[in-house]
Amino acid sequence: MHWEQLLSLRRQGDTHKRLRVEQDEMRLGFEVDFDRIIFSSSFRSLQDKTQVIPLSKTDFVHTRLTHSLEVSVVGRTLGRIVGLELLQKYPHLHEVHGFQAHDFGAIVAASSLAHDIGNPPFGHSGEKAIGEYFSVGNGQQFQSLLTPSEWYDLIHFEGNANGFSLVTQDRPGVEGGLRLTYATLGAFMKYPKVSLPHKPTSNISDKKYGVFQADTLFFEEVATELGLPKRGGKDELRYARHPLAFLVEAADDICYTIIDFEDGINLGWISEDFALEYLMKMVRHAINVEKYNKLKTREDRISYLRAIAINALIQDAMKIFMDNESAILEGSYPFSLMDKSIYAAQMKDIIQLSVERIYKSKEVIEKEVRGHRILSLLLDVFIAASNRDFEGNPTQFDKLALSLLPERYRNSKDTLYERLLQICQFVSIQTDGKVVQLYEVLR
């Protein structure tokens, strides 16, 4: 891979090449990506979507929106410091093409901002609820009518693939969705592959899939424009990661490790003594003891340690990236950056404690169970109504139910797969509170 190609400013529908040296320095193309994402309705819906604690009534617990903003901030910093290193290593990127360190920061910030945009209500349990509706629920009836790849997209509904679809899919009068730069789309795709064939490997980019069957043509266009190397057999649609996707992943790993932990502390599910012990293991070398001893509240002490921990992890992620930049450019680096962190053991300990005290808490599990039931009912009602409407014999209830859909989701698609995916995507863009409201109306 080549950096000048990976930093493509092209957008879907462009008829001419966009050059960095021709960009308006007051509002760069990569910064426009950030703006388009933050003003999108899909991004706004993250304000009432679960990060860890579903339907939380407390204002200090993170939602998907606050998490995404924080990941974006960490990603921007990480992108900039890596950008500085890369411009020193490859001076022609600036001298010939005009790229600056903040271009790398802007790409990673925008991709990080959008990284959870396709996640359904109730977090990862929402993904499982949609998948299990088809694999073991009423959606089983459709298996014989779909191709294996289409079926796999549904039974393993994936927020990453849904996110790519949401930011790129055409709408009436809007070609290419948000029309993000191909560089940002590339950095967004942590898993640049379709769902099948499913071949578990030790490569981190094969952990999940990132593209629905409905979006393969544009996915290939983006990968080709960026020069991403193909991986696997000739019939497989699988590419190497865009190098900046490693930074997006690292920013997410850093934030959810430290900040989910902080949520557990603020909720009282993890004691301050435990928290201080675990965080101290990571940041003891960087603490200003005099300043720390002046902090009188738990919140201030935890906040101070969190800031030091995040900074230490950012610096470490940059070093790991640059140490392995050649392998990353070749598409042969198989690990996430934080897997190789000098703080990997401490991060693992923090995550394990978060799993025990937060993710498996009674409060979280009870709300996930409720979310599972809610999403199943919504899929039942809207899929049946959409299919009967397509066949020309909708009931009065079907008509009323479909009238609740935004206009872009009311038009019945030509194929069963597209109709099923359209309803899944409608459900996925709803907030936690909105699906609860719909459930109360429809049940």
Phi and psi, residue 161, nearest 5°: -65, -40
For residue 199, name the pLDDT band (cuts at 50, 70, 90).
confident
Best CA proximity match to 321, nearest among 75, 29, 62, 31:
75
**Contact between 66 and 51 (Cβ < 8 Å):** yes
Count helices and strands (H / E) in the chain: 21, 0
φ, ψ (nearest 5 deg) of residue 6? -65, -25
Residue with tokens 């960009």: 23
Among 42-46, 137-141, 142-146, the range scoring the smallest mean pLDDT is 42-46
- Asked if residue 197 has a cis previous peptide bond (ω within 30° of 0), the answer is yes
Please report the pLDDT score of residue 272 as a whole number: 78
pLDDT band at 361 (very low <50, low <70, confident <90, very high): confident
Q: Report the percentage of the chain scoring pLDDT > 70.
A: 95
The position carrying tokens 């959409």 is 386
In the chain, the N- to C-terminal Cα span, in Å, equals 52
SS3 string of 87-110?
A: HHHCCHHHHCCCCCHHHHHHHHHH
Looking at residues 341-346, what average pLDDT do you find?
94
Q: What's the confidence (pLDDT) of residue 54?
A: 52
User: By mean pLDDT, which of 123-137, 204-218, 346-360 is the weakest?
Assistant: 346-360
Going along the chain from its start, the domains and CATH numbers come out as: 3-119+243-358 (1.10.3210.10)
Kindly report, residue by residue over 13-62, the tens digit of the pLDDT.
777 788 776 777 767 789 999 999 999 989 998 988 866 655 455 555 67
Please enumerate in sequence order all residues whose Cβ is within 8 A of that of 400, keeping only pairs 6 or more positions apart, or say none: none
> Is the pLDDT reported for residue 188 higher than 80?
yes
pTM exceeds cut of 0.75: yes
Give the C-alpha distances (Å, rounded to integers) separating 184 from 40, 110, 169, 271, 384. 16, 7, 15, 40, 37
- How high is the mean pLDDT of the chain? 90
Ramachandran angles phi, psi of 197, nearest 5°: -75, 145
Amino acid of residue 215: D
Quick: pLDDT tens for 57-85: 555 567 889 999 999 999 999 999 999 99
Q: Residue 128 is encoded by which pair of tokens?
A: 């499982």
pLDDT of residue 21: 66
Closest CA to 222 of 203, 242, 249, 196: 242
Alpha carbon distances (Å) from 340 to 102, 306, 313, 334, 360:
26, 20, 11, 11, 27
pLDDT at 411 over 90: no
| Residue, of 235 and 142, whose pLDDT is higher | 142
* Pairwise CA distance, residues 412 & 395, whole Å: 15
Residue 201: what pLDDT?
A: 86
The confidence band for 363, taking pLDDT boundaries of 50, 70 and 90, is confident
With CA atoms as reference, report the closest residue to 433 among 37, 46, 113.
46
Q: Provide CB contacts within 8 A for 214, sequence distance 6+.
A: 165, 417, 418, 421
Could you tell me how far CA 318 lies from the centroid of its own chain? 21
Residue 145: DSSP 8-state: G
